[in-house]
Chain A
Amino acid sequence: MKKLILSTATLLTLVAVFAFAPAATNWQIASKYNIRFTGGGDVGGIFKTFKGSIAFDEQNPGASNFALVVEVASVNTGNALMNNHIKSAEWLDATKFPQIKFTSKKIEKAGAAYQVTGDLEIHGVTKEVKLPFSFVAKGAAATFNGTFTVSRNDFHIGKPGGDVDENIKLEISVPVTKK
Chain B
Amino acid sequence: MLKRLLFLGIVSGLLAGVAAIIYQKVYSTALSVDFSAVVKTAAIPIATIVGCLLAALGNWVLYLLLKSKSEVIFNLLFAILSFASIAPAFGAKLPLDSPAPPELLPGLVIPMHFFPIMAYLVIRPLFIKNVVEAPKA
* Residues on A facing B (Cβ under 8 Å): 36, 42, 45-46, 76-83
Q: Which residues of B contact A (CB under 8 A)?
A: 90-96, 98, 101-103, 105-106
Q: Are B105 and A80 within 8 A (Cβ)? A: yes
Are the CB atoms of B96 and A79 closer together than 8 Å?
Answer: no
In terms of DSSP, what is the predominant structure of the interface of chain A?
Answer: mixed
A78 proximity list for chain B (CB < 8 A): 93-96, 98, 102
Chain A contacts of B102 at CB under 8 A? 76-80, 83
In the complex formed, the residue of B with least CB distance to A45 is B96
**B111: min CB distance to chain A, Å:** 16
Tell me which residues across on chain B come within 8 A of A79, comparing CB atoms: 91-94, 102
Residue pair A81, B90 in contact (C-beta under 8 Å): yes
CA distance A81 to B93 in the complex (A): 10
Docked CA distance A45–B91 (Å): 15
Q: Give chain A residues whose Cβ lies under 8 Å from the Cβ of B91.
A: 79, 81
User: Could you tell me the distance between the alpha carbons of A45 and B97 in the complex, rounded to whole angstroms?
Assistant: 10
CA gap between A145 and B106 in the complex, in Å = 35
Q: Are A76 and B93 in contact (CB under 8 A)?
A: no
Complexed CA–CA distance, A46 and B94 (Å): 12
A42 near B90 with CB under 8 A, answer no
Closest to B102 in A: A80
Complex: A78 Cα to B93 Cα, angstroms:
5
* A36-B97 Cα distance, complex, nearest whole Å: 11
Complex A-B: 6 CB contacts under 8 Å: A77-B102, A80-B90, A80-B102, A80-B106, A81-B90, A81-B91
Q: Is the CB of B96 within 8 A of A80?
A: no
Measured in the bound complex, the distance between the Cα atoms of B108 and A80 in whole Å is 13
13 more A-B contacts (CB under 8 A) besides A77-B96, A78-B93, A83-B103? A36-B96, A42-B93, A45-B96, A46-B96, A76-B102, A77-B93, A77-B102, A78-B95, A78-B102, A79-B102, A80-B105, A80-B106, A83-B102
